[in-house]
Structure 1
Amino acid sequence: MAAVIDSDQSAPAGEAPIQSFLVTFIIRRYDPEVDAEPRWVDYDVEMYPTERVLDALHKIKWDQDGSLTFRRSCAHGVCGSDAMRINGRNRLACKTLIKDLDISKPIYVEAIKGLPLEKDLVVDMDPFLDAYKAVQPFLISHSHPEKGKERLQSAEDRERFDDTTKCILCAACTSSCPVFWTDGQYFGPAAIVNAHRFIFDSRDDAADVRLDILNDKEGVWRCRTTFNCTEACPRGIQVTRAIAEVKQAILRGGR
């Protein structure tokens, strides 16, 4: 079990001090300059229940091993840069609280799967971003709004694609997909989600173009509906449902 450490962390008057724990993190390390294969390295870190896995990585890097490499930016679940596998599940390190993990056992941390490993917890995001760009994830309109006016849209039309506007391009969904693991050509859930966002936008005029792109042999038909992507999404997007809606639009011949 994780060892309890006496704590001097302040607590509200009349309440007991918050206890800290010695938590073991086992991190899959890889330095291409010295390692032939990845290796697991363990670290003991003093943690508080309300701290996050990202805090643990900071403590390791700052206090124990400055060579540990990982990505992070906003640290508040918006940028999506710190997606990684924590105890075998894709999560954002900045959104994963220590109190939500079983600290009686070591916490395993490794890079997301399916993308080329560059170093430690950092993967090459280019294949992921190439698929994203291929679906033309931007508004395409063949008309111009009235001068000085915005493109108007009803609340009902906006609600049609509201869920898929939440994507932060963390790659947690795509790198949880077993089809993507075995076939690097598959567009993947995140690209399809971002296509969905514009396919069903009433202001956009290129839905047919995107549907044609995703009707490719490496498009939506590669999805096996395992729901891994939906379970992995840190933003709660119903990814599998979005993919199914794109499939239905292709069969209908339009949105």
Structure 2
Amino acid sequence: MATPVLDKPAQDATASHLITITLRVRRFLPEVSDEVTWEDFALEIDPKERVLDALHKVKWEMDGTLTFRRSCAHGICGSDAMRINGRNRLACKTLIKDINPEKPITVEPIKGLAVLKDLVVDMEPFFQAYRDVMPFLVTKGNEPTRERLQSAEDRERFDDTTKCILCAACTSSCPVFWNDGQYFGPAAIVNAHRFIFDSRDEAGEQRLEILNDKDGVWRCRTTFNCTDACPRGIEVTKAIAEVKKALITRRY
């Protein structure tokens, strides 16, 4: 079967939707140089497309050395978190038309984590903090023979913090984390909150003691950067405040 070909009027109509943008990308190629540079790419794109689409266009058609992470491309995996025009965002959820395409669109890696190449950072310190808060259900005794029941009210207590996709947008927007990578960071505290306030869990005291450390919740300065950066709309600062309150009152 012959491949269908758009007629000229249809092609012209499609092209009329395209705009020319400048994608300004922070480059770091350790195999070439230790210096960081900025590189501009001019490309035509539909303004309703996403920054991730623009990055794909650069990598596939202009410069195959451009390096970044992405997976699902639908705001669920969290792997394509980066700084776009100075704000932490997911590239797959950021539309070109929403970030003033008349000016250069700057794209750089998230802050506070070592850059490995271009937009890729070393996520190991972030995930180590996540592991340190024991992000799993802890119970005592024998394995139950039926599911652990929970009321809707009990579930609602920690529902917001179950939405975390571990993109690191919140943690890497925190000025305390920028200055001291030892701080657990908002994402780790959010994931501790998810289990501390779960009525089925029995390790709340242990997690609270972990977060009572000098690098724990008391390092938070309540700047709300983390809440503003969260692509899932989690009230991160509120969750951190609830953990602080639980530490003081020992009620949760």
What is the TM-score with the length of structure 1 in the denominator? 0.93
Aligned equivalent of 1:8, options 8, 11, 19: 11
**Aligned counterpart, 2:4:** none
Distance 1:138 1:107, change over 3 A: same
**Aligned counterpart, 1:86:** 84
Shift of 1:252: 0.5
Aligned residues: 244
Q: Which runs of 4+ in 1 moved over 2 A?
A: 6-11, 143-146
Aligned equivalent of 1:205, options 185, 202, 206: 202
**Aligned counterpart, 1:116:** 114
- SS of the aligned residue for 1:186 comes to coil
Q: Distance in 2 between matches of 1:249 and 1:9?
A: 62
Aligned equivalent of 1:28, options 26, 32, 40: 26
User: Where does 1:41-52 land on structure 2 (aligned, <5 Å)?
Assistant: 41-52=39-50
**Aligned counterpart, 2:242:** 245
Q: Which amino acid aligns with 1:219?
A: G
Q: Distance in 1 between matches of 2:239 and 2:217?
A: 10
Shift of 1:9: 7.3
Residues 207 and 254 in structure 1, CA contact (< 8 A), matched pair in contact too: no
Q: Which amino acid aligns with 1:95?
A: K
Matching of residue 221 in structure 1 with residue 224 in structure 2: no
- SS of the aligned residue for 1:170 comes to coil
**Aligned counterpart, 1:194:** 191
Cα deviations by residue, 1:158-204 (Å, 9 ceiling, x for unpaired): 00000000000000000000000000100000000000000000000
- SS of the aligned residue for 1:8 comes to helix
Shift of 1:143: 3.4
Q: Distance in 1 between matches of 2:50 and 2:73?
A: 10
Q: Distance in 2 between matches of 1:194 and 1:71?
A: 23
| Aligned-residue CA RMSD (Å) | 1.5
Shift of 1:99: 1.2
Residues 145 and 151 in structure 1, CA contact (< 8 A), matched pair in contact too: no
Q: Distance in 1 between matches of 2:92 and 2:119?
A: 14
Q: Which amino acid aligns with 1:208?
A: E
Distance 1:209 1:102, change over 3 A: same
Distance 1:43 1:49, change over 3 A: same
Shift of 1:34: 1.5
User: Where does 1:49-198 land on structure 2 (aligned, <5 Å)?
Assistant: 49-144=47-142, 146-147=144-145, 149-198=146-195
Structure 2: gaps of 5 or more residues: 1-8
Distance 1:102 1:27, change over 3 A: same
Cα deviations by residue, 1:31-58 (Å, 9 ceiling, x for unpaired): 1111222100000111102100000000
Q: Percent identity?
A: 69
Q: Which moved more, 1:42-51 or 1:106-115?
A: 42-51
Structure 1: gaps of 5 or more residues: 1-5, 12-16
What is the TM-score with the length of structure 2 in the denominator? 0.94
Shift of 1:10: 6.2
